[in-house]
Each structure stands twice: as structure tokens, then as C-alpha cells.
Chain A
Amino acid sequence: MNGHSMLRETLRRLSRNPLAVAGAAVVLFFCVLALFPWLVSSHDPNRIDILKILEPPSGAHPLGTDDLGRDVLARMLHGARISLSVGFVAESIAIGIGLVIGLLAGYYGGKVDSLLMRFVDIMLCFPTFFLILAVIAFIGPSIWNIMFIIGVTGWMGVARLVRAETLSLKERDFVAAARAQGAGTARILFRHILPNTLAPILVAATLGVAGAILVESGLSFLGIGVQPPTPSWGNILTAGKDNIEFAWWLSLFPGLAIFLTVLGYNLLGEGIRDAVDPRLKGR
């Protein structure tokens, strides 16, 4: 179990997959833009100028202006922050819950396991989007609520993955050895089992972030996503769709941004899955 060489091997395999590399590049590109928007645009995303309503792309406004004369590029950049944060935070919540439940179920087994897994089964039966809609409509569409509810309804896959890994890991020699040395349950779980479940979690995480971004755009379409004037890609696209024929720049850019980002995360996730799955090494 040499973590370092395994990581290097994984990265090497990943770098040989052009799709995964492209995906990673897109993901990185938008992350950088979201972190440093001022690199690209100095406009204030909320600066209204009613004399410049719905101007097509130009030198002054490379992506045009919206229906309040705000700079679309600046809104896209700040929207990237919001949309990506929704993705990251929601998925972190999902992974947190999934990890705990998966570890507990896998490690303790027996009644604990079957009880928790029944709960997972129940949650998996719900059309998740229905559940999200209902809760968001009830508790209100603040960014935090949206992140929270996407996370809380999206952990089941992670829980199953972690449980399966834990089940197989806990019988391994190194876990038995740790136990023999008197390591506590918490220590075994977090020092020994957790690190070995990271790869599948990473795959789930990349796909989950993409899913959360899409869910936010869907919620925005229904009017209960991130609320304007705070920009998110979803609500910029939703506002733009009503002018889709006339002011094409309002929907094209956010649409492309969501599309490329989600695609990027998916390709990256698939790439990681292929790269870490040692069983596929042979081919």
C-alpha cells in the first residue's frame, strides 16, 4: 500500500486519457475564472445602466449587457463563483453524510448495517428532484438552503460506495493489525479505512458537483434557484431564455458555461474512474 506511487501511477494513466485531460482543463479554467474574476473583467456585476440595456457583445462589453444594462461577462464570472460553490458545498455535504453512514454501516455490519441501508433504500426511492423542489419551495431558495438540500438528498451513492469498500477493507490484514495494536474504532475508521475509500469518493464527487450545478439551473428555471440580483449561471440563463431569439448572448454564454463545466466534470470523473480501477489495467 504505497499511496504515493499509486497516486503517481493514477495521474500517469489519467494524463494519457485526452478526454479526461480536456475535462480537467475546462474545470480548471472555470475554477480560475471564478477565483480571480478581476483578471478578466473589472466591471461590477450589479452595476445597472439603463442606457445600455441589451447591448450585443462589443469591445466594452465582450459578452454584451443584460436587460438592466449590466455587464454579462462580469455577471458570468461572479455567477461562476456561485454556481461552482453550490456544486462544491452541496457535494461536500453529500460526501460528509455518505461517508459517515457508509463507514458505520460497513464497519459495524449487522443490525446497524441493515437499518442504515434500509434508510438508503428509502431515500433512493424518491424522485430526488421532487424532494428538492418541495423542500426549497417550503424553506425558501437561499443559496445555503439550495446547497443544503442538494447535499442532503444526494449522499446515497457515496454511502453505498463507502460501505462496500469498508466491508472489504475491514477484513484486511492491516486493519486487523491496527486493531491488535489497540487502535480505537475511530482511529481505525479514519486513519486506516477512510484513506482507502478516497478514490471512489473522488469519482462520485466530480460527478456530484456537475449534478448539483445542473440541479441549480433547473431550480432557477422554475424560479426557485439562486435569487437575482445575485448571479448564478442558472438564473442568468433563465433570465436570458425569454429573449433567446432576440438577445442571443444572454442565453448562449451561460448555457455554454453550464454545458462545458458539467461535461468537463463528467469526463474528468470518468477518467479518474478508469485510471484508479486497477481491474481495468490490463486493457
Chain B
Amino acid sequence: MLRYVVRRVLVSVPLLIGISLITFGVINMAPGGPIGISSDLNPKATAEYRERLKAYYGLDQPLYVQYGRWLGRMAVLDFGDSFSADGRKVWDKIRERILVTLSINVLSMALIFLVAVPLGIYSAVRKGSVFDRVATVTVFTGFAIPTFWLALLLMILFGVRLGWLPISGLVSLEYDTLPLAGKILDRAAHLVLPVFLMAFGGLAGISRYMRSTMLEVIRQDYIAAARSKGLPERAVVFRHAVRNALLPVITILGLSVPGLLGGSVIFETIFAIPGMGQLFFQGVMSRDYPLIMGILTIGAFLTLLGNILADVGYALADPRIKTERAG
């Protein structure tokens, strides 16, 4: 097993290098360098100032030198210093944001699994029933409504009209003075809308996938065999079919990471949550190259990690698969 894991990880190394190359390529498509923002048409900024900044940031070096330097440091999670005025380390900036984004993503993912799996199973078992149809429309509704619109509607309803939930942010202003239970409640209240919305939007993918793998499994010979043995339908479905249908669902866990991460830009903007998505958007708008490269790389890295974990989980559950998938 260990060997499989090591191999799986080693296979990912060229992927990481490919990722960094693409990232670097994207950034160099940009017109207007990173020094533009701070000196744009400010009469007090002179040409000399620009040159100084260029030298300071190493932008006068050839591209491959810039890339080489960056790659070397990336290996030790040193993404360099941000181009923004604070000049902080990119990794520091990401580190203080990443937990927020990840915890919201993990919570929504958990919620998605909790709801989507039974939904998918039941839809498959009752394929074509009213329940199946209602479930189908419901999960696609979550996917199809523009999230920022639904978010505002829910904020108006629960925040302004009913006053049940806070509108935006992570914690209240009085957070520090609250007792522990109050702190937990406060955080939870702030997370309700974003987590619910993110889960609602992601329901379709997993529940539909669950439904189709379940349909496939149900048609397999061993299920027919189990049925023919006279086992009750419930037992057939839950003891045999679900277990086998769940396996492939594990693997798309890894693949759903980039989608959720990408969506976090919009969630964090509308809910004023200081997460990685917002950080990335700010970085993009201010041409903060090291920050953009850092977050893209981390995002891709998280996806890789998700994939590896999913594959390992799969291999653990189903040993037949390991050698074949490692190639």
C-alpha cells in the first residue's frame, strides 16, 4: 500500500511542474506590469521610480530566470513577497486565508455528501418516480440559480426582514467578548447562509453521479444474483448495491475541489468573507504576480492532494484497482 501511495505521489510531480508552467504562462500574458497600479498617472510618480521598482522586484531579469527562481522557492512553499504595498510574504497571506476557505468548502462538501448520497440512491431506486423528478429539478435548481442573486435574496429575507441571521462576515463585532458557547453560536450563525448556498449549488454534481453509478450497479449480475436468492429488496439495495456504488463517488471528491475553490471567489465577495477566493481576485485585479502564482499553485496542489487521497481511499476499499490506476 505504501508503495502505491509513494508511486501515486511521484506521478504527481511532473503534473506540479506542468501546473507551474501554465501558471507562469498565464501571468506573462498580462499587459501592463505589476508596477502599474501604484504609479498609474500619479503625478508624483516619476519614470525613475518605476525603474527602481522594476529592479527591486527583479522584473528586469529574463523570463526563464524569473521562472527558475520562483520554481526553486516554490519547492519550499516560498512564493516570494507580494507586490502589494505591504510587501508581505505570499505564503503568509495565503496561510491566514486558506483555513477560512477550506473550512467552508469542507463543511459544504460534508453537507453535500450527507444530502446528495441518499438523494441519489433513492432517485436511482425509484427511477422515473415523482420523487426522482422532484429531486432532479431541485438539485439542478441549486446549480442553475446565479449564486450571488440567491445569496442576496436570502440575506434580505433572513438578515434584514426576519433578522434571524447575520448578513455578512465571519464573526460579530462583539465576538471577542462572548463566552465560548456564544462564540461557537456566533460563528455558526455566520456560516449558515454561505455553507447552505455552496452546498445547494454543489448538490447536482454528486447526487446525479450517485444516481447513475447506483443505476449501473443495480443492473450488475451480482445484484441480480442477490435478488434471485430471495433477499429482501432493501437488503439488496443497502448491503450490496450502495457499498459498490459509493466507491466511485469517493473518487470525484478530489475532482470537485477545483469547482468549489473557484466558486469561493463569488461567495466570499458577496458575503464579505476574508478567504482565499477574495484574496485571489484582489491579486488578479492588482497584478500581484507572486500572489496569483501562489494561489493558482496551491489551488492545483489541493486538487492533486484531493485526487491522491481519493485514489488512495479507493485503493484501500478496493485492492483490485491499485496497480491499474497508478500508471
Contacts and interface: CB of A to CB of B under 8 A. Distances in A.
Contact of B263 (A129, A245, A260): A129
B241 to A, nearest CB: 13
A127 B259 contact: yes
A133 B26 CA distance: 11
Contacts of B141: 259, 263
Given A125-B19, A135-B29, A267-B137, A221 B146 contact: yes
Contacts of A186: none
B263 A214 contact: no
Interface stretch (A34-42, A47-55, A69-77, A114-122): A114-122
Contacts of A124: 255, 258, 303
A133 B284 contact: yes
Interface in A129-156: 129-131, 133-135, 137-139
Q: Chain B at the A interface: mostly helix, strand, loop or mixed? A: helix
Interface string A191-215: 0000000000000000000100010
A33 interface: no
Contacts of B7: none
Contacts, number: 151
B285 interface: yes
Interface stretch (B71-79, B147-155, B183-191): B147-155
B149 to A, nearest CB: 5
B146 A134 contact: no
Contacts of A128: 258-259, 262
Interface residues of B, number: 57
Contacts of A126: 19, 22, 258, 296, 299-300, 303
Nearest to B303: A125
B30 interface: yes
A234 to B, nearest CB: 8
A27 B153 CA distance: 25
Interface stretch (A100-108, A164-172, A275-283): A275-283
A255 B15 contact: no
A270 interface: yes
Contacts of B22: 122-123, 126
Contacts of A245: 156, 160
A218 interface: yes
Interface in A252-282: 255, 258-263, 266-267, 270, 279-280, 282
Contacts of B284: 133-134, 137-138
Nearest to A135: B26
A222 interface: yes
A18 interface: yes
B153 A134 contact: no
A138 B29 contact: yes
Contact of B146 (A19, A119, A214): A214
A123 to B, nearest CB: 8
A65 interface: no
Contacts of A260: 144
B14 A130 contact: no
Contact of A237 (B146, B208, B303): B146
B111 interface: no
Given A217-B146, A218-B147, A262-B143, 4 more contacts: A138-B30, A222-B266, A258-B145, A263-B137
9 contacts: A124-B255, A138-B27, A138-B31, A139-B30, A139-B31, A218-B147, A251-B152, A258-B146, A283-B215
